[in-house]
Chains A and B, each alone.
Chain A
Amino acid sequence: MTGALYDTLVAPFAGFAFMQRALVGSLMLSVSACPVGVFLMLRRMSLTGDAMAHAILPGAAAGFLLYGLRIVPMTVGGLVAGIVVALGAGAVARMTIQKEDASLAAFYLISLALGVLMVSLRGSSVDLMHVLFGTVLALNDDALTLIGLVAAVTLAALGLFWRALVAECLDPLFLRTVSRLGSPVHFVFLGLVVLNLVAGFQALGTLLSVGLMILPAAAARFWTQRVEMMCLCAIAIGLASSLSGLLLSYHAALPSGPAIILSAGAAYLASLIAGPRGALMPRRRRAAHRTA
């Protein structure tokens, strides 16, 4: 029994360095990206994460076009493209009549088309698949260092700006009357979204890296009514999804990125059904009520 458990849960990581790297990388990503996803969700910007994931494509593609499949140029390119799109969309929303959803859609679509164009100029479809879907099992030292740095920066920024982030979500007009931090904190937050997507795309690809950000956050919403607890819960779901996704990938010979995101998807569906604020619980409790 113990032996079987060891073989299932521990042996894949104990025996293979690439599995250890994949585990460390995806665990660090979970700690970093999941709380960012909670704020994205609470600001009703869940789909913004998806748009930003598309937006970083041309930067990563430019890095790939110039230097091939190397982490530093692709990361820097993705970061620059993401920041240009985030700042551009944010600036249009603040300076014109257009709302941020429309300006972001415009910027990311231009960006996505540029990215696909650039990849097709040089690469084969295999390269395109790598950029789009990543390879968590091929994380090297550089990629792990990058993910670690992004996680450290993200946690420090969340700690520093926590109160402003909460105030900006809860009552943005109030924050504007007591502080000038409203706009800066919005851009800091968008910067964190871009950073985490870029950190995630080596492991999960540009399209799936947003999954580890949003799915655990969306699942955590069904379990708690406090922002702090929601972040911790999302991290826990992210960690569990990373672990189970990698094990699933190992044992069933499935691609690792989709396996991790599907694990998070399963956690979401389970939370939707079983969570105290999910679909079933309120119905079951309806008859029970207090006197005041």
Chain B
Amino acid sequence: MSEACITFGDLTLGYDGHPAVHHLSGTVRRGSLTTVVGGNGAGKSTLMKGIAGLLKPMAGTCAVASGVSLAYLPQLSELDRSFPARVVDLVALGLWPRRGLLGRHRAEDRKAVSDALSAVGLEGFGRRTIDTLSGGQLQRALFARVLVQDAALILLDEPFNAVDSRTVADLIALIERWHGESRTVMVVVHDLGLVRGHFPEALLLARRPVAWGDARETLSPENLLRARQYQEAWDENAPWCEPDGGHGHAHGHLHTHIRDGGAPRLAGGRGAA
């Protein structure tokens, strides 16, 4: 078995005492390419934030192997498009892990930025200001920044939203290139056809993990039906969650009501509920 890049140990992430990702255990192997799928409110973006270290676990652990550098492209960027920056300035932010606060940007760094722009099809756009880019062009520029970051673990949260089919194809080619370079990649994707067509593994979330493993097996009609059965509701009066199912404050978060009442079974064997 390959070495673990990310290890989830009964991980619960959430907000205000309510879980958004509930009791996730398992490992993401180094060099694997995994999609995270599920409906709105299933906990996909929350999981990404947890891995990126932007959200502390309410219970359990989320451990990225030591020495693994991380690049994260969020679904809702906090990018200020009115800021007077050129495309090269945005992409050059990706040099931070290499050069930090004070390191001088060298000729090789400028080449890395220019190569990244070429790789995403934005040659000649370097001197354009970011407020003049279309949505698809901006997404390409953000992919270029991920390229420049040269990270071992890449998290992409819904990178294909509001992007045309040609751009999707180009971005998928980049993701496959990263996979070929043995980087670990996790991508939140809504289009199940894309997942089946291009990604080897999938984690199906419905707050709890429903299935995790080979993408086609994970996205079986039975698993998708089970995922839909989990309620999306936010229950103010949900009982407190305890490992044995009793009531108390053991984890400090509220238990989600699950319509079928059963614990999820994981199909792919990458993790265990």
Q: Residues of B with Cβ closer than 8 Å to A?
A: 52-54, 70-72, 74, 77-80, 83-86, 89-90, 93, 96-97, 100-102, 129, 145, 149
Closest residue to B85 on the A side, CB-wise? A170
Closest residue to B69 on the A side, CB-wise? A178
Residue pair B83, A169 in contact (C-beta under 8 Å): yes
Q: Shortest distance in angstroms between B49's beta carbon and chain A's nearest beta carbon? A: 10
Residue pair B93, A171 in contact (C-beta under 8 Å): yes
User: A151-163: contact bitstring with B at CB < 8 Å (1 yes, 0 no)?
Assistant: 0000000001101
Please judge, given known A-B contacts A161-B101, A177-B54, whether A171 and B96 are in contact too, CB under 8 Å: no
Question: With A and B bound together, what is the CA distance between A169 and B86 in angstroms?
Answer: 14
Please judge, given known A-B contacts A177-B54, A181-B101, A227-B85, whether A172 and B129 are in contact too, CB under 8 Å: no
Residue pair B77, A171 in contact (C-beta under 8 Å): yes
Question: With A and B bound together, what is the CA distance between A164 and B93 in angstroms?
Answer: 10
Residue pair A173, B84 in contact (C-beta under 8 Å): no
- Chain A residues closer than 8 Å to B70, beta-carbon distance: 177
Closest residue to A226 on the B side, CB-wise? B84
Please judge, given known A-B contacts A161-B101, A178-B96, A227-B85, whether A170 and B54 are in contact too, CB under 8 Å: no
- Chain A residues closer than 8 Å to B72, beta-carbon distance: 177
Please judge, given known A-B contacts A42-B84, A226-B84, A227-B84, whether A170 and B93 are in contact too, CB under 8 Å: yes
Q: Which of A164, A174, A177 meets B53, CB within 8 Å?
A: A177
Residue pair A170, B52 in contact (C-beta under 8 Å): no
Interface centre among A42, A164, A177 (most CB of B within 10 A): A177
Residue pair B101, A170 in contact (C-beta under 8 Å): no
Size of interface on A: residues with Cβ below 8 Å to B: 25
Question: With A and B bound together, what is the CA distance between A167 and B78 in angstroms?
Answer: 11
Q: Which of A163, A169, A173, A174 meets B101, CB within 8 Å?
A: A163
Please judge, given known A-B contacts A171-B78, A171-B79, A173-B77, whether A178 and B84 are in contact too, CB under 8 Å: no
Residue pair B53, A170 in contact (C-beta under 8 Å): no
Closest residue to B71 on the A side, CB-wise? A177
Q: Which of B71, B77, B96, B97 meets A167, CB within 8 Å?
A: B96
| Additional 9 contacts, C-beta under 8 A, given A175-B96, A224-B84 | A42-B84, A163-B102, A171-B78, A174-B79, A177-B71, A177-B72, A178-B97, A179-B96, A221-B84
- Chain B residues closer than 8 Å to A42, beta-carbon distance: 83-84
Question: Within A106-140, which residues are at the interface with B (CB < 8 Å)?
Answer: none
Question: With A and B bound together, what is the CA distance between A256 and B80 in angstroms?
Answer: 38
